[in-house]
Chains A and B, each alone.
Chain A
Amino acid sequence: MLLSLNWLREFLPYEGSAESLGDRLTMAGLETENILRPYAALKPVVTGLVAECAKHPAADKLSVCRVDVGDEVLDIVCGAPNVAAGQKTAVIRAGCTLPGGQKVSKAVLRGAPSNGMICSERELGFSDEHNGILVLDPAVPVGKSLPDALGLDDEVLDISVTPNRGDCLSVFGLALETAALTGLLPTVPGYERFSGGADAASEVALTVEDEDLCPLYHGLIIEGLTVAPSPLKLRCRLNAVGVRPLSNLVDATNYVLMELGQPLHAFDLDRIRGGRISVRAADEGEVFTSLDGKERVLTAADITIRDAEGVICLGGVMGGLNSEISTGTRRVFLESAVFHPGAVRRTARRLGLHSEASYRFERGVDREGATPALERAAHLLAALAGGRVRPGLIKKAAKTPPPCSVHFHRAYAERLLGATLDARFCEKALRSLGCTVRDASGGLRAGEENIALEWDVTPPARRPDLTRQADLAEEIVRIYGMDRIPARLPGIARDLARSGQPESKNVFLHRIKHWGRQAGLNEIIAYSFAGGRELDALGLPREERVPVLNPMSEDMDVLRPALIPGLLGALRNNLAQGAPSVRLFETAAVFLGLCPKPRRDSVPDPEAPSPSLPGETLSPETSQDAFRASVVREEARLGIILHGARASAVWPALPGDLDYLDLKGLIEHLLLELALPAADFVLAGGDAPGYYLPGVDIILQGTRIGRAGRVKEAVAERSHAKKEVWCAELNLDILYGLHITTAVRAVPLPVFPPVRRDITFVAPRGTRAGDIAALAEAMKGRIDTEIRLADCYEPEGTDARNLTFRLTFRRADRTLKDAEADRQLGLFAESVRKTLNVAVQQVEG
């Protein structure tokens, strides 16, 4: 909301600066974002008198003028058709800059010198008028700065008005607010009344079919009008607050809209067919051409104003082309109505038609202000366009709802605010806002001073946001000064019943993150969105995706069903920066769609009640959640991506590039860190994600907890990866469940010494180390057997690997004899040979 300070002063004797008013309003909840001086750039423009004006000898369309600007007379060549001697004009000297930034310089035009410019309205930023120069009132003194001469020294406050304060969307509303904050007395304007008599009522038969959609509809008829531009001063004032001046008829309605906050609409009465106006919901599918010439298809939720033949206006949103004011308009039906805020909002949103009018109707306009605004506008319109207001208000209004009365306890406000409030102050503050305050303490009096503890408060009609004690407490603290509230730390009570809960999911996630950091990984945070096309390229199934209905862009039109898009994106960013070693992790939710739904083509009205919501009642949050869970499943995941040199240092460093064993080692390390048993890593089957080759399923106690693998070259190349890219995603929901149910127990330490033996197998291609180790694990009995891979050597020119295992044998009850260990080792070698057909190469020990 742009507030002109000069305009405000017509209602309030405010003498302070724009800055201090801005500060006061900001501290009362009306944040002043900026202070504008819309005509400050006009300072170099001066008023001048065209003393002489003659045709340019060498150019048909140019005139050579001598213009008196007070301290000198300038030669100016002017191209405007309307320039003439004796005019008072706005002149800018050569060397000065116009408001639009254009610099005027000395010139010689076809032999005639020009030392300045006579300005049009467009050059001054007043309007788009560019067909001729601006001709000023003959009474304007010559040689004055234009803003001074026209009284354009205005300051404009740009105020951000919160959605609850529709009453502050007008100069008058802000004057009342400022009055309450400063204690100044506002001038409440009185307007000429036209409601007497019934002369006009015979002209238009008015019906309102749905009083819920339109609780009030008033109109006046103004006749004998002549459409013309408004006076310059009025146009400048509208322009200063961001309203484009059009013609006297339209400007008058806009002026009153800005001044009093009541939207008005002027119909050309001669274009209203059948002498009838009715207000009702549109017919479903009805077509209407709005002022801007566009055809709109209406729904039964739209409010229409109609004449005998059809729709002439979309109530509260936009007028119709068929009843529009034109240059030939002589008679006007001026409407001042109150429309249902929600209905106006739905229509404006659906059609993308947001106007000053719909903005105010959405926030609620004051019923009591509708008639004074209508009369003010009718009067102004008649005055500007030379017309006459027909006496008699054409009106339909629902019964005025009873005023809202709030029973207000001072103690409640004191508790809510945590501050002590003086009773007389509270009363005065509420009264200053226009509330009626009645002592409701009955016989109760605190102390001797006759101070009320409770009141019955009736807020003014313009404040529909004040309906409860909390609302009044806020009003009091706004006047009191929110910033005067003291600071106190509360003692926070805790519920013993909540003690002893398992580690929370949050703590668990932090545990994972800290593990990642300590494991030498860098945490990333990527967007939860992905592009459908990107997911297609990764081969992620379409039916599991959750589309965003109104995405910001094509590459953010789906919620990510896996972390890999973000991991690859971060890899790409870092490779572009030349990072030699990239090891990243992320913990985040992925989103999986549960029921396959056809992709909707257009965004439905997002605020329309959802047809598939079970029931319209608010209470059963469980059904809400059950419904939510049936549509989308969120799964917490840990994603890891590795690429490039194993060590980020050059020297001293581990040689080689990050590979599968690095990735697997990290996962094994994490499981140890979470006190979980070791997982099996098995080559993934056909349902593995298509972007891995090889892909590995990670199985813990029979449950797949995640997947790992090498990102296929074709996919990795899109991230500009030159080396192997290894990636893993683990389901943190499963790990969390396992972690919180796992107890860590101490075990007795072995007392008797172990016997160690190394054994080397020549394992042909296809023999998995894990299978050999599993055979040793299977031999555990009275003799405890531990097996670890000790070396892996691939002799050149062969197809086999030499796998050396270190076995540790031990008995819990006595020292194991060498011979027993050797026998055990022999059994193991035999079992490997028989089961896997793998020969022993060497035994040491």
Chain B
Amino acid sequence: MTLIAELERTAAGLTAALTDAASAAEAESLRNAYLGRKGELAALMSRLPELPADERPAFGKAANAVKERLNRLLEERLAAFKAEVDNASLSRFDPSMPGRMPERGSLHPLTLVLEEICRILNNLGFETVDGPEAETDFHNFEALNFPRDHPARDMQDTLFLADGLLMRTHTSPMQVRAMLERKKPPVAVIAPGKVYRRDYDQTHSPMFHQVEGLLVDEGVGLAHLRGVLTHLLRELFGPDVTLRFRPSFFPFTEPSVEVDMSCVICRGSGSRADGKGGKETCRVCKGTGWLEILGAGMVDPAVFAAVGFSPACTGFAFGMGVERIAMLKYGIDDLRLFFENDLRFLGRFVK
């Protein structure tokens, strides 16, 4: 057999062996047997001197071509094995398996809403302050122009502690504290916190949350109050919100304002689609198109007198119920859910 013929036979041998190889490792072992330094191809090449000198270049060329071809075959076969392995692992991979989640915590929806309100007002320049929940009559009532034996005290049914202390009925004592501490304008504070009233039924909780806002500075007027509240409520409920100002009465503001917001459900129209092509009265605003959202007003001169501010001062104050805002924002229809602390409820709120 000629050397050339042997070359071809070797090539055929490796091709067949590669086809028979069952694994990448087997194929890899053929590389040594055929193409290695001591492999069959190398053995044939070492017999080159047996050939006449004029045949040697042709044989060398043929041997190189065979080597190249075999190398390619081998790589292809190895790649095929690799692809098989990849395929196998892909078929084992199940992207639908449940993930290994870190335990998910949650913030109470009232915390989320409080934070949001504070963020919006902090950005306008209001500073957040705090104060005690068990208050003196002075801070909760007297300094806020609720004289003893005045019927205005009926507006806030109070829980009393010993020695004349009481549970604060609103966040307003914190505005008194802020003014006393700062001694003179400007004062721009917000005061979030728990407040307490002696009231307990479907729509009243003995403990609830308020945010108080107070701005006392030169030239502050009712228009600024409207500006700040419009900004706040639009940030909370969207750019279409409009406000309605109605006169009201609070002992610590004069003029006093009851603020209504265009209904966030029916967008102020008073009715909504009933799902049957018709319209029905909006249940949230009871068809009025307006939602009572907060009370506010210009700080009463008597409050300035109580904290030692000049009677020439002007300023506004407002106080809003956080539960009310949260109920509207998240569509919660039962106040009691806030304090039952059911995980199925708590876990829903992420923003």
Q: Which of A29, A492, A556, A612 has a CB less than 8 Å from the CB of B188?
A: A492
Partner of A606, one of B133, B136, B158, B192: B158
Bits for A339-365, please: 1 = Cβ < 8 Å to B, else 0.
001110110000000000000001100
- Chain A residue contacts of B309, Cβ below 8 A: none
Is the CB–CB distance between A487 and B341 below 8 Å? no
A559 to B200, CA, bound (A): 16
Cβ B103 vs Cβ A647 within 8 A = yes
In the complex, chain A residues whose CB is within 8 Å of the CB of B137: 610, 613
CB 8 Å contact bits of B94-113 with A (1 = contact, 0 = none): 00001011111111101100
Contact residue among B126, B177, B206 (Cβ-Cβ distance under 8 Å from A529): B206
Q: Which residues on the A side are within 8 Å of B223 (C-beta)?
A: 417-419, 485-488
What is the CB-to-nearest-CB distance from A316 to chain B, in angstroms, rounded to a whole number?
Answer: 13
Which B104-155 residues sit within 8 Å CB-CB of chain A?
A: 104-108, 110-111, 115, 118, 124-130, 132-139, 142-143, 147-155
Q: Which residue of B lies closest to A364 (CB)?
A: B151
Q: In the bound complex, do residue B228 and residue A490 qualify as a contact, i.e. CB atoms below 8 Å apart?
A: yes
Cα of A363 to Cα of B166 in the assembled complex, Å: 24
Q: Closest A-chain residue to B104, C-beta based? A: A520
Contact between A603 and B130, CB atoms less than 8 A apart: no
B340: interface (CB < 8 Å)? yes
Taken together as a complex, chains A and B put the C-alpha atoms of A651 and B127 apart, in Å, by 47
B325 interface residue per 8 A CB criterion = no
Q: Is A397 at the interface (CB under 8 A from chain B)?
A: no
Q: Which residues of A contact B110 (CB under 8 A)?
A: 525
A628 touches B249 (CB 8 A): no
- Specify which chain B residues have a CB less than 8 angstroms from the CB of A517 in the assembled complex: 105-107
Contacts of A547 in B (CB 8 A): 161-162
Contact between chains at B159 and A550 (CB < 8 Å)? yes
CB of B293 closer than 8 Å to a CB of A: no
CA separation between A237 and B111, bound complex, in Å?
Answer: 51
Give bound CA distance, A26 to B247, whole Å.
8
Q: How far in angstroms is the closest Cβ of chain B from A503?
A: 11
User: Is B136 a contact partner of A31 (Cβ separation < 8 A)?
Assistant: no
Q: Are B248's CB and A470's CB within 8 A? A: no
Asked if B215 is at the interface of the complex by the 8 Å CB criterion, the answer is: yes
Q: Give the B interface residue count (CB, 8 A).
A: 103
Query: Are B134 and A477 within 8 A (Cβ)?
Result: no
Instruction: Select one of B245, B248, B314 contacting A416, CB under 8 A.
Output: B314
Choose among A470, A552, A556 the residue that contacts B301 (Cβ–Cβ < 8 A): A470
CB within 8 A of A523: which of B111, B142, B153, B258?
B111
Asked if A483 contacts B343 (CB within 8 A), the reply is: no
Chain B interface mostly: mixed
Whether the pair B206, A485 counts as a contact (CB closer than 8 A) is no
Asked if B341 contacts A524 (CB within 8 A), the reply is: yes
Q: In the complex the two chains form, what is the Cα distance from A582 to B106 in whole Å?
A: 12
B226 close to A488 (CB less than 8 A): yes
Contact A487 B243, beta carbon cutoff 8 Å: yes
**CA of A485 to CA of B107 in the docked complex: distance in angstroms?**
38
When A415-B219, A504-B128 are in contact, do A552 and B200 touch as well, CB less than 8 Å?
yes
**CA of A570 to CA of B344 in the docked complex: distance in angstroms?**
12
Cβ–Cβ contact B342 & A495, under 8 A = no
- How far, in whole Å, are A577 and B342 apart by their CA atoms in the complex? 8
With both beta carbons as reference points, the residue of chain A lying nearest to B158 in the complex is identified as A606
Quote the shortest CB–CB distance from A588 to chain B (angstroms). Answer: 8
In the bound complex, how far is the Cα of B181 from the Cα of A498, in angstroms? 12
- In whole angstroms, how far apart are the Cα atoms of A489 and B256 in the complex? 19
Q: Which of A160-186 contact B (CB under 8 A)?
A: 162-165
Q: Are B247 and A477 in contact (CB under 8 A)?
A: yes
| Residue pair A528, B207 in contact (C-beta under 8 Å) | yes
Residues of A contacting B257 with CB < 8 Å? 482
Tell me, yes or no, whether A395 is within 8 Å of chain B by CB. no
A519 CB–B CB distance under 8 Å: yes
A580 to B128, CA, bound (A): 39
Q: Within the assembled complex, what's the spacing in Å between the Cα atoms of A493 and B300?
A: 21
A551 touches B245 (CB 8 A): no
Q: A163-B155, A627-B136, A632-B134 are known contacts. Are A522 and B246 too (CB-CB below 8 A)?
A: no
Decide yes or no: A526 and B198 within 8 Å by CB, A618-B142, A634-B132 being known contacts. no
Interface string of A497-513 (1 = CB under 8 A from B): 01000001111001001
Cβ of A406 to closest chain B Cβ, rounded Å: 12
Tell me whether A333 is interfacial, beta carbon within 8 Å: no
Closest chain B CB from A351 CB (angstroms): 14
Scan A640-654; emit 1 where CB is below 8 A from any B CB, else 0. 000000011101110
Q: Does B272 contact A (CB under 8 A)?
A: no
Contact A490 B217 (CB under 8 A): yes
Q: Does B255 contact A (CB under 8 A)?
A: yes
- The answer to the question of A638 belonging to the interface, with a C-beta cut-off of 8 Å to chain B, is no
User: If the complex has contacts A506-B128, A506-B192, are A628 and B135 also in contact, measured as CB distance less than 8 A?
Assistant: yes
Contact with B along A68-91 (1 / 0, CB 8 A): 000000000000000000000000
Say whether B163 faces chain A, with CB atoms less than 8 Å apart.
Answer: yes
Cβ contact of B102, chosen from A164, A363, A520, A574, cutoff 8 A = A520
Decide if B136 touches A527 in the complex (CB within 8 Å). no
Report yes or no: A26 in contact with B246, Cβ–Cβ below 8 A: yes
- Kindly state whether residue B165 has any CB partner on chain A within 8 Å: yes
**B342 touching A493 by the CB < 8 A rule?**
no
Task: Indicate if B164 sits at the interface (CB-CB under 8 A).
Answer: yes
Confirm or deny: B221 has a beta carbon within 8 angstroms of a beta carbon on chain A: yes
Residues of A within 8 A of B162 (CB): 546-547, 549, 593, 597, 600, 631
Q: How far is the CA of A477 from the CA of B221 in the complex (A)?
A: 13
A546 to B132, CA, bound (A): 14
Give the contacts of B302-340 with A (CB-CB under 8 A).
Answer: 306, 308, 314, 338-340
- Which residue of the partner chain, among B153, B194, B254, contacts A607 with CB atoms under 8 Å? B153
Which residues of B lie under 8 Å from residue A516 when comparing CB positions?
Answer: 105, 107
Closest to B101 in A: A649
CA distance A524 to B115 in the complex (A): 15
Residue of B nearest to A584 (CB): B341
Let me know if B31 is at the binding interface, CB within 8 A. Answer: no
Contact call B136/A473, Cβ cutoff below 8 A:
no
* Interface residue? A828 (CB, 8 A): no
Task: State whether A652 and B207 are in contact (beta carbons under 8 Å apart), knowing that A473-B255, A482-B246 are contacts in the complex.
Answer: no
A414 to B255, CA, bound (A): 12
Q: In the complex the two chains form, what is the Cα distance from A652 to B94 in whole Å?
A: 14
Instruction: Give the complex CA separation of A506 and B189 in angstroms.
Output: 13
- B267 at the binding interface (Cβ < 8 Å): no
Give A575 Cβ to nearest chain B Cβ, in Å. Answer: 10
Across the interface, A652 reaches (CB within 8 A) one of B100, B104, B246, B247, namely B100
B196 contacts A by Cβ under 8 Å: yes
User: Closest B-chain residue to A517, C-beta based?
Assistant: B105
Q: How far is the CA of A634 from the CA of B167 in the complex (A)?
A: 12
A514 within 8 A of B: yes
Distance in Å from the Cβ of B296 to the closest Cβ of chain A? 11
Q: Tell whether, in the assembled complex, residue B346 and residue A524 are in contact, meaning their CB atoms are under 8 Å apart.
A: yes
Kindly supply a per-residue 1/0 record for chain A positions 580-613, scoring 1 wherever the CB is within 8 Å of any chain B CB and 0 otherwise: 0011100011010100010010010011011011
The answer to whether residues A603 and B160 also contact, given A518-B105, A524-B346 and a CB cut-off of 8 A, is yes
B49 at the interface (CB under 8 A from A): no
B220, A490: Cβ atoms under 8 Å?
yes
Chain B residue numbers with a CB within 8 Å of A162 are 248-249
19 A-B residue pairings within 8 Å (CB atoms): A31-B258, A162-B248, A415-B221, A470-B300, A488-B223, A490-B217, A492-B217, A493-B186, A494-B186, A495-B186, A506-B118, A513-B111, A523-B106, A546-B162, A549-B159, A606-B160, A607-B153, A624-B136, A648-B103
| Supplied contacts A417-B221, A417-B222, A613-B137, 15 more A-B pairs, CB within 8 Å | A27-B246, A363-B151, A416-B298, A485-B222, A490-B224, A519-B103, A523-B105, A547-B161, A573-B340, A584-B341, A591-B134, A606-B166, A610-B163, A618-B138, A632-B134
Report, nearest first, the 8 A-B pairs whose CB atoms are least far apart. Answer: A418-B223, A610-B164, A520-B103, A418-B221, A29-B247, A492-B125, A162-B249, A342-B149
Task: Give the interface of B toward A (CB within 8 A).
Answer: 98, 100-108, 110-111, 115, 118, 124-130, 132-139, 142-143, 147-155, 158-167, 176-177, 180, 182, 186, 188, 192, 194, 196, 198, 200, 206-207, 215, 217, 219-224, 226-228, 230-231, 243-249, 254-258, 298, 300-301, 306, 308, 314, 338-344, 346-347
